[in-house]
Each structure stands twice: as structure tokens, then as C-alpha cells.
Amino acid sequence: MSQADPRVDWEAIERSPEFQELITKRKHFVLPATVFFLAWYIGFILLAGYAPDFMSESVYQGLNVGYCLALTQFVMVFVLGVMYLRRADKVYDPLAETVVLRALSGRAEPPADDAGPEEVVR
Amino acid sequence: MTVIAATNVEALVIFAIVLSATLVITYWASKRMTGAEQFWAAGRSISGVQNGLAISGDYLSAASFLGIAGLIFIFGFDGFLYSVGFLVAFLTVMFLLAERMRNAGKYTIADVLAFRLRERPARTAAAMGTLTVAAFYLIAQMVGAGVLVQALVGIDFSLAVLITGVMMLCYVIFGGMLATTWVQIIKAVLLMTGILVMSIFVLERVGFNPIELFNRANANTTDASTFSLGPGTFLSSPIDTVSLGIALVLGTAGLPHILMRFFTVPDSKAARSSVVWAIFIIGGFYVLTTFVGFGARALLGEEGVAAAGTGGNLAAPNLAQFLGGGEGTFGGDLFLAVIAAVAFATILAVVAGLVLSASGAVAHDIWSNVIRKGSDSEHEEVLVARIAAASIGAIAIVIAIVGGEGLNVSFMVGLAFAVAASANFPALLLALTWRRFNTAGAVTGVLFGVVSSIVLVIISPKVWPGPDAEGGALSFYDLANPGIVSIPLGFIGCYLGTVLSKEHGNERQFAELHVRSETGLGAEKSGAEAEREPELVA
């Protein structure tokens, strides 16, 4: 689709330090979080498949290891979801806004002494 | 404990109320129908909370409600494994796709591919992925609807499928995404209320002590029972369990009707908050399902298994009848009728979302952009969308009625998830993140994913040469769930297609897609915003 808007220098925006900072910061959370949740989930599935006796062991009466581990998956989803939401609101959105503002004002490459988005973040 | 086969009057009355409410919404939405953006994206006016509810309504099918409760009732823990996969999948959606889809797309997942790849082949491939998933999922839901409505209300299977199909088409054709969204929201509220009330009734019987519920469920078994509090009773092959688990957790991120919901919100912030709302609603729902499933085992016991039908699908309605006072009592019949209506609303909301996404693939992708190359008017696009929806709906109704109750619902849903995970997910993810990715890669990847999923399911032991035969078509391959093979094949297809073709991705277009998907710069505006703000870069 030739949606490319000729008036915007997308490559310059992509190279700009604030855009790089945005994607690096996002990656620093999303990548480890994705590896963690996939590992924790696949570990759970592997245990369910290959270690049914362990999963059936009782923790307290009818409550067994399997159900408890399943609940940890729920907790993991809730916690990671809220963590991402907070980081996105506090860190990524202000950075993205900076990128957009610079691009719209025609200053894809900011002056070096610019205060930068660090302050915005903290 | 048998659900009466004769017509259930209470159920009919409650069904009529639910259907009337949805038709009023459809009429209201049809008055607001202005064009393509309204038809497929509800004018991008849906808020984060509303979309979170609508995602839940779009996602939680009858398989999630009746199916999982039934599996837990009959097999115990293994039923819960599905819930965990269905929920964790939303982290994949949130971290990798939700905001990027909103920023980069317009109406369909093909928009994202076409953004940086050669339009016609990329769109055709993506539309094929969408239609394959939607077709299997839709037919499965329609058959499920027919079976359930027949059992719960006492009307004939074919008539039940027909009513479901006609209602679904009314919402989509006249009300588009706005009507579909509100049907999904109402359904989510009804479903959550229904399962919450049932759970409270169940827990009340065990002094609000869930552990006592497990104890009683475990005690209420016989030598013939397949029930166990531990895993391995339903999913007996470990490698198959892993394969299924992976397909569930990646497949959701390739379901076109779920991804399409992200185009209905005003911006990426609303897209991600809607995922978090959905996570809590869906997570809460699946925890409550275990109370209903284990509760059915604790209260109905082994005698209830025969009455619960294939896969235990009727366990939840039977439990409702029992909790309300039992068969023949007013309370029992009423509670049964309410849960039956909730199940019906559940199906309607899901099939409407599926038909809408399929109509987008046919009208927006194939007709408007591949055949007419964008030269058609918006009026024409919406007209074609309505015709496409009607045709897709009609085909699904006919296949469901002709195939009848003999069609294996769970295998078709499994197939839909496998195709979504193996074809749609790799192509989308790589289009958004891999600079080198090109058109040949997308087309090869989608083809590898679709073909390998379908072939592997056909030669799987459950299907070939028949459900009762021993072993599959190939002696060394006996997986019922193809994900563990077909998902890597989808990614390999994307990779090989890319590196083996001379075509180099358009750098500038990737830069644009990259910036746009990460920041929302240049993203489709919501109706209100577009009026307020001038075009990008004045």
C-alpha cells in the first residue's frame, strides 16, 4: 500500500534518539517479560504432560500442586498486565508523544543539548 | 437430571427477551451507519472498558463456558488446562500485537501486511488466513449452537442453527461493528453474572470453602469415573498436551475477530487498557468455571455424566437446574432457562464477530483492494461487505445443517487455533518487527501455516481413517494437535520465502510502519479526532 506520506521523513524519525530510546525501553520490558511468561507457562504445560503424579500431590486436602500452579499463571497474567499498563502510561506514552511532537514540528533530529525525554520519564 | 427434550417455555420467554434487546441495539446502531469505518470499526469510538468487555464477549465462546465446565466435570483438572492457555494467550496479544495493530491497521489484519509488502499478494494471503480461521471457527460455533439450543429449549437442530444464523446476520448486516460490539458487551455482562451467581450457589453448598469443593468432587466418583483432580485423564499424551498448549497461547494472537476489535478504539492507549480489562474479566471467568465444573462433579456426581451429553456440554445447565431446586420445580426450570439463554447469547456474540471479520477479508481486502485496487467508493465497499456477510453466513448455516451434529466441534476449534497460530501470527509478528521480511516470505509463511495445519489434522489419529480407528495415516505421527509442528513450519515458511527471494523489503515503508506502530504517528484517527485535528504534518 503506498500510504507513505512524502512529507514525513520516516527514516529520520526512526533514527532519532527519542524513537530509539522508546523502542529500547519498551524492549527492555517486553522481551524479558515475554520470555518469562512463555517459560513459566510452557513449564506448567510440561509438568502437566510429563509429571502428572507431581501435579496431583496434595498441598492441603483436595487442593493439589496442579491447581496451585495454575493459579500462579492467573496471578502472573494479572501482574504482568498491570505492570505493562503502568509502564506504558508513565514511560512509553510520554516518549512516543515526544517523537510525534518533534516529527510534527519538523525537528526529527533534536539539538544535542536538548533536555531529552529522560526528565519527562522520571 | 435429564434436560427435558420437550419445549422449555421459560427458556423460550427468556430467549425472546434477549433477542429483542439485541434487535433494539441493532436498530439503534443501524441509524448510525455512515460508512466503512462505522461498519468495521464502529467509528473507532469504543472506550477501553467497553472494548475490554467486548473482547471478553467476542472470545468466551460456548466452548469456554459449557465446554470447559463440562470437561472439568467429566475429566477434572485437564479441562482447566484449556482455561490457563486461553488466558495466558492475552499476554502474547498485549505485548506483541494489540497497540501495534491499532496504530498500523485500518479494518483488517491484512492492512498491516499490505502496509509494507506488495499489496495484492500480501492481502490475498492474509485474507486466506482470516477466512480459513473464521470458517472453521464459525461452523464449529453454529453446530454447537444447534446442539445446545436443541437440548436446552427443545427446538429442532436445523431450526436452532437457522435462528442463530439469521440473528447473527441481522446484527452484522444492519448494525455492523457497533451492534456487534454492544451484543458482545451485553453477552459478557450476562455471562459473568450468570457464572457468578452459579458459583455463589455452588460455594454456598460447601460453606464457601473451595477446598471442601475439591474434596467432595474427588469423593463423588466411582470406579468408572474418568474424573481426577490431577492431569492426564483427558489429555493423555504429554507431547499432545504441550502442542495444544502452545497453539492456544499463540493462536489467540492470530484470531482475526479478536485482533479486529483493536481497530474500534480511539488510540493505542485504549487498545492496551482494553486488553487489561479483558484479562481480568476472562481470568475471573475461568476461575469461576472451575467452581461450576468441580461443583457439578461434587453435586451431580457420576450419575450426572450420562445426562451431560457429549463432552459434558450440558453439565453447567444441569447443575443450574439442580441448584434452582431440581427438575420440575419452578426454580430449577427458571435457572436452567436463564443459563440456557446466557449460553445462547454467548454463541450469538462470537459468531457475529466472526462473520464481521470474514466480511472484512472478502470486501475490504479481496474486493476493494485486490480486485478493484482501491478504486471503489466507500458506499460500494460497505455494500459488498453486507453481501459478503450474507453469503458467508448462508454458507455456514448450510454446512452446519447438512453436516449436522456429526461434525466434530472440538476438532474444528482446534484447527482454527492451529491455523491462527501457524499462519496469521508468524506473518503479522514478522511484518511488524523484521526489517528484511518481504512479500514472498508472508505468502510462503501463510501457505505453510494453513496447509500444514490442515494436512496434519487430517492425518491425525482422531480424523484419519476415522474416530474409532487405531492410529493415524502415518505410523510415526500421532499428534491430535498440530501446533508443535505447524507453528515452526509457519515461521520457517516466512523465513525461507524471505531469504530465497530476491525482493528486498522497502526500507522506507518499514521505517514508516515501525514508527507508526510504535508511536501512533499517522495512525487512523477516531471520528471525533479527525474532525478536530488537521491531517498529519500541516
The predicted pLDDT at position A111 comes to: 44
pLDDT band with cut points at 50, 70 and 90 for residue B525: confident
**∠ CA B378-B261-B119, rounded to 5°:** 50
Residue A59 sits at φ, ψ, to 5 deg, of -90, -50
pLDDT band with cut points at 50, 70 and 90 for residue B1: very low
User: Which of A30, A48, A64 lies at the smallest CB-CB distance from B81?
Assistant: A48
**B149, three cell numbers:** 439450543
Give the three-class secondary structure for A58. Answer: strand
**B404, three cell numbers:** 449436522
The predicted pLDDT at position B534 comes to: 45
CA distance B137 to chain A (A): 24
The predicted pLDDT at position B465 comes to: 62
Mean pLDDT of chain B: 89
Amino acid at B226: T
The string of pLDDT tens digits covering residues B44-77 is 999 999 999 999 999 998 888 888 999 999 999 9
The predicted pLDDT at position B12 comes to: 83
CA distance B318 to chain A (A): 24
Runs of H (alpha helix) within B439-506? 439-458, 483-500
Neighbour-count burial for B475-496, b at 16+ CB within 10 Å, e otherwise: eeebbbbbbbbbbebbbbbbbe
pLDDT band with cut points at 50, 70 and 90 for residue A106: low
Q: Which residues are bridge partners to A60 per DSSP?
A: A63
pTM over 0.95, yes/no = no
**A122, three cell numbers:** 522520571
Question: Considering only CB atoms, which chain B residues are within 8 Å of A66?
Answer: 77, 229-231
Closest among B411, B351, B333 to B57, alpha carbons compared: B351
The string of pLDDT tens digits covering residues B172-206 is 999 999 999 999 999 999 999 999 999 999 999 99
Nearest CA in chain A to B96: A30
Give the span between the Cα atoms of B54 and B58, in whole angstroms. 6
Interacting residues of B505 by C-beta distance below 8 A, sequence separation 6+: B116, B117, B435, B436, B437, B438
CA distance B247 to chain A (A): 11
The predicted pLDDT at position B403 comes to: 85
The string of pLDDT tens digits covering residues B359-405 is 999 999 999 899 988 888 888 999 999 999 999 999 999 999 998 77
Nearest CA in chain B to A50: B238
Specify if B536 maps to a domain. no
Residue B470 in this model has a pLDDT that exceeds 60: no
pLDDT band with cut points at 50, 70 and 90 for residue B457: confident
Interacting residues of A93 by C-beta distance below 8 A, sequence separation 6+: B269
Ramachandran class of B301: left when φ > 0, alpha when ψ lies in -120 to 50, beta otherwise: left
pLDDT band with cut points at 50, 70 and 90 for residue B474: low
The predicted pLDDT at position B489 comes to: 97
User: Which of B87, B96, B242 lies at the smallest CB-CB distance from A74?
Assistant: B87
| CATH number, domain containing residue B270 | 1.20.1730.10
Asked if A49 lies within 8 A of B214 by C-beta distance, the reply is no
Specify if B475 maps to a domain. yes
Nearest CA in chain A to B210: A63
Mean pLDDT of chain A: 84
The predicted pLDDT at position B527 comes to: 62
Amino acid at B503: E
Task: Summarize the confidence of residues B339-364 as an average pLDDT.
Answer: 92
Specify if B2 maps to a domain. no
User: Which of B114, B119, B522 lies at the smallest CB-CB distance from A5?
Assistant: B522
DSSP letter at B220? S
Residues B373 and B222 sit within 8 Å (Cβ to Cβ): no
Residue B95 in this model has a pLDDT that exceeds 60: yes
Between B493 and B343, residue with greater pLDDT: B493
Residues A40 and B245 sit within 8 Å (Cβ to Cβ): no
Q: At B159, which helix (H) or strand (E)?
A: helix B157-170
Specify if B56 maps to a domain. yes
**B354, three cell numbers:** 466472526
The predicted pLDDT at position B171 comes to: 95
Which residues constitute the domain of residue B479? Answer: 9-523
Question: Considering only CB atoms, which chain B residues are within 8 Å of A68?
Answer: none
The predicted pLDDT at position B538 comes to: 34
Cα Rg, chain A, nearest whole Å? 22
Nearest CA in chain B to A36: B91
Residue B342 sits at φ, ψ, to 5 deg, of -60, -45
Q: Which ipTM score applies to this complex?
A: 0.90
User: Which of B115, B229, B520 lies at the smallest CB-CB distance from A3?
Assistant: B115
Residue A116 in this model has a pLDDT that exceeds 90: no
Q: How many CB pairs under 8 A join A and B?
A: 186
Q: At A63, which helix (H) or strand (E)?
A: strand A63-64
The string of pLDDT tens digits covering residues B108-135 is 999 999 988 998 999 999 999 999 999 9
Runs of H (alpha helix) within B7-118? 9-31, 36-41, 48-59, 62, 68-75, 77-92, 99-104, 109-116
**Does A72 lie at the interface with B, CB-CB under 8 angstroms?**
no
Residue B272 in this model has a pLDDT that exceeds 90: yes
**A99, three cell numbers:** 517523537
Specify if B114 maps to a domain. yes
The string of pLDDT tens digits covering residues B242-254 is 999 999 999 999 9
The predicted pLDDT at position A121 comes to: 37
Question: Considering only CB atoms, which chain B residues are within 8 Å of A18?
Answer: none
The predicted pLDDT at position B309 comes to: 79
Q: Percent of chain B having pLDDT more than 70?
A: 94
Specify if B537 maps to a domain. no
Residue B153 in this model has a pLDDT that exceeds 90: no
The predicted pLDDT at position B472 comes to: 56
Task: Summarize the confidence of residues B460-467 as an average pLDDT.
Answer: 68
Asked if B520 lies within 8 A of A104 by C-beta distance, the reply is no
Q: Percent of chain A having pLDDT more than 90?
A: 66
Query: Can you tell me which residue has the cell 513459566?
Result: A40
Specify if B1 maps to a domain. no
**A111, three cell numbers:** 539539538
Specify if B76 maps to a domain. yes
Interacting residues of B204 by C-beta distance below 8 A, sequence separation 6+: none
Give the span between the Cα atoms of B271 and B262, in whole angstroms. 6
Q: How many domains does chain B have?
A: 1
